[in-house]
A and B are shown apart, each in its own frame.
Chain A
């Protein structure tokens, strides 16, 4: 099986696609927020690799073509953002301050929990960029002397969690405007959360895309300042 995956140019993509389809089907049938298609597909793929003893690198040998599309897809997020230009202009102050509040909350709560759990300085700076998009977060973590592998893992887990709880959180905490919902999701859970925001609506998706960019850039500056606090 391992050898087959090593040689195949489609096996990893097909396994990922089938897992995602199963996830969507499960969500449609049972309608529980825990049945998130992305979470289900990740669990299924990991389960498959472990059961059939397929090496991750063999799987990724073909699955990497899915990751390849991530950069042009992120660039494309400019399209919905442009389509919501009017809404963006009208609410620019609220949006910028909202994102800033989210970034400070993220950095502040990492600091508070680092003190609470007696984390080392290296572990603390590893977690500082947890809410922002992977590529920026890895750079920040490396710059500050964190463990980049853990940063990447934590960022992905944060994104998947955000994707899962986004709808529920907006409902329970009565985040009323579509603009605010998008900002909340993008600031807390970057591109993976934005995938959910896109499903919720055009405005949510566009604002979430904007929040990825602005919260990412704010965190580059903010994390450097916060790194000196602990």
Chain B
């Protein structure tokens, strides 16, 4: 079933504030096997000019994924999430996310299309501090793969 095209261009209210914690950064960095001192050692991070531990460049997914769920898990959209794989991902960072940041995400549906029976949705999550400072953006494209034997 094709996706509901009327979702294109739709924006959602800012997500509840997310406070970036030092231990969350360390946990995430450990989970990607990354022992860079900037993620683990406060003095090392400060020596590089950062105010506190910084988060790895892909950390924003921790916020942008649940923010995007507002869109992709909405039954009205018609996306079969069980068949979803990640198609593309891009982050733009005006500065690194660091411990102590209080962040919200505003997600927008940028594009919806169907290619060879695969439903494809592209979203943007604009990340800002609760004080209104733009921090960056997360661009995601999800692909719901056509089922075997489907008309596509």
Do chains A and B stick together as partners? no
Residues of chain B having any CB pair with chain A under 8 Å: none
Q: Which residues of A contact B (CB under 8 A)?
A: none
